[in-house]
Structure 1
Amino acid sequence: MMTNLFSVFDPSTYILNISLNWLSTLLGLLLIPSTIWLIPSRHFILWNKVLLTLHKEFKTLIGFKNINKGATFIFISLFSIIMFNNFLGLFPYVFTSTSHLIMTLSLALPLWLTFMMFGWINNTQHMFAHLVPQGTPPVLMPFMVCIETISNLIRPGTLAVRLAANMIAGHLLLTLLGNTGPYLSASLLTILISTQIALLVLESAVAIIQSYVFAVLSTLYSSEVN
């Protein structure tokens, strides 16, 4: 039963033995109207305000002293990619690429490795000092080094698992409730549809929140190596 339940998240569309489900990752480009590049439409104005707000917030998180020109664009692009893919997964028969660790780890692991390499090569003393929080008693220093090292090593895993688990959880709940529809009476079916609409609204909020959390945590991790 559990195997069948989770199999809805497995790539299943094949042509010439090539999995086509991952093409849903590129479908976000189709949602961007061509007019967004030509005239200042309402869509452009709204999206521009969102990007400017994110730019200001990420600039504050990174730190004005440590910021380089264009540094926030990396995290804004990361936010946009994840949010588009999260929303695409809410459409029927569209493969949710962000529900797979292949996708989320591909985003989190290279970022974390880059931050760590940059920090240890250019700011080695600062990285060593970061392993022992200020004011730690000498007796606890070895334990704090172990704890901080482990917390650093699991960061890409927590980023990836958090995003994938949140995407899977909501979709599983929608699938489980939807499968009970044919066996319900008309009155219960009305309640089920209302519940499904409420869950869909919740999933839309989760799609934005999880992409925002992923981008903000990546920004905070980058600010620690400077």
Structure 2
Amino acid sequence: MMANLFSTFDPSTNILNFPINWLSSFMGLLILPMTFWLIPSRMMVVWINVMKILHKEFKTLLGSFNHKGSTFMFISLFTFILFNNFMGLFPYVFTSSSHMTMTLSLALPLWLSFMMFGWINHTQHMLAHLVPQGTPPMLMPFMVCIETISNMIRPGTLAVRLTANMIAGHLLLTLLGSTGLKMNPSLIIVLIITQLLLLMLEFAVSIIQSYVFAILSTLYSSEVI
């Protein structure tokens, strides 16, 4: 019996007081040797095509900021978040992407690096970004405050969006699963079908949220030029 509904997300598994929940984030390293085969598998061919599509899209979004290899940082970010989201769909596997500790650790350094690069190398352009084009002179002080606040909360919105979406689906699955013991046997089939549909929805959400995180990071980086 859970004392708290959110206790399913607590990193409580440990061996000799060493927390092993976060090791699920590094299990992707186990599949890296597969990429070094001379003849790639069908799964690797599909993943290579996905990376090519992402590379073209990120290259378009970056525009003039696009340097050789700059898209691979965002492709790696997408891959890392996607893997962690998928790992959380397995039973009894710790969902690391549902914790602000991880999501904010990804969003904050990216945003800080973009801001530092922009303000140091393109100060005039960054100041011009604070006042949208065509703003009346009377509204300029207010627009500077609004744009500054919206810029400051970007890493928080990135982190909270990913965390909230991952928590919401898992909580719904947990709530429905906990009611199965008290339901009539005739309704168990309906519950199982509902759980499977929600699992498919979570599968789609895992992909979409990884894509949204990577796309928004790319857009934020393209604004500093």
What displacement does 1:224 show? 0.1
Aligned length: 224
Partner of 2:224: 225
Q: CA deviation at 1:3?
A: 6.0
State the 1:54 CA deviation.
0.2
Instruction: Give the drift of 1:34.
Output: 3.8
Identify which range, 184-193 or 113-122, moves more after superposition.
184-193
Over aligned residue pairs, what C-alpha RMSD do you find? 1.3
8 A Cα contact 1:181 1:192, kept in partner? yes
Unaligned runs of 5+ residues in structure 2 are none
Distance 2:172 2:27 in 1: 24
- Give the whole-Å Cα distance in 2 for the aligned partners of 1:185 and 1:37: 52
The percentage of aligned residue pairs carrying the same residue is 73
Q: Which residue of 1 aligns with 2:80?
A: 81
Residue in structure 2 matched with residue 57 of structure 1 by the alignment = 57
Is 1:209 the counterpart of 2:208? The answer is: yes
**C-alpha separation between the residues in 2 aligned to 1:2 and 1:134?**
54
* Equivalent position amino acid for 1:135 in 2: G
CA deviation after TM superposition for structure 1 residue 36, in Å: 3.3
Would the aligned equivalents of 1:86 and 1:167 in 2 still touch at CA under 8 Å? yes
CA 1:33 to 1:150, structure 2 compared with 1: closer, same or farther past 3 Å?
Answer: closer
Moved over 4 A (4+): none
> d(CA) in 1 for partners of 2:193 and 2:211?
27
TM-aligned CA distance change 1:118 to 1:2, over 3 Å: farther
Structure 2 equivalent of residue 45 of structure 1:
45
One-letter amino acid of the structure 2 residue matched with residue 89 of structure 1:
G
Report the CA distance between 1:187 and its aligned residue: 1.6
Give SS of 2:86's match.
helix
Report deviation, 1:44.
Answer: 1.3
| Residue in structure 1 matched with residue 97 of structure 2 by the alignment | 98
- TM-score, L = length of structure 1: 0.96
How far did residue 41 of structure 1 move? 1.5
Tell me the CA shift for residue 35 of structure 1: 3.7
Aligned residue in 1 for 2:20: 20
Say whether the 8 Å CA contact 1:36–1:43 is kept in structure 2. Answer: no
Residue 65 of structure 2 corresponds to which residue in structure 1?
A: 66
Q: How does 1:103-142 map to 2 (within 5 A)?
A: 103-142=102-141
What are the Cα deviations for residues 39-85 of structure 1, in whole angstroms up to 9, with x where unaligned?
1221111000000000000000000x221110000000000000000
Residue 143 and residue 207 in structure 1: after superposition, are their counterparts in 2 closer, same or farther (change >3 A)?
same
Equivalent position of 1:174 in the other structure? 173
Q: By how many angstroms is 1:2 displaced?
A: 9.4
> Whole-Å Cα distance in 2 between the matches of residues 17 and 68 of structure 1?
45
Q: Which amino acid aligns with 2:22?
A: W
Gaps of 5+ in 1: none
The secondary structure found in structure 2 opposite 1:94 is coil
Q: CA deviation at 1:14?
A: 1.4
Residue equivalent to 2:184 = 185
Q: Shift of residue 184 of structure 1? A: 1.1
Deviation at 1:33, TM superposition (A): 6.8
Q: Distance in 1 between matches of 2:144 and 2:119?
A: 15
Counterpart in the other structure of 1:144 = 143
**Pair 119,33 (structure 1): closer, same or farther in 2 beyond 3 Å:** closer
User: With structure 2 as the length reference, what TM-score do the two structures score?
Assistant: 0.97
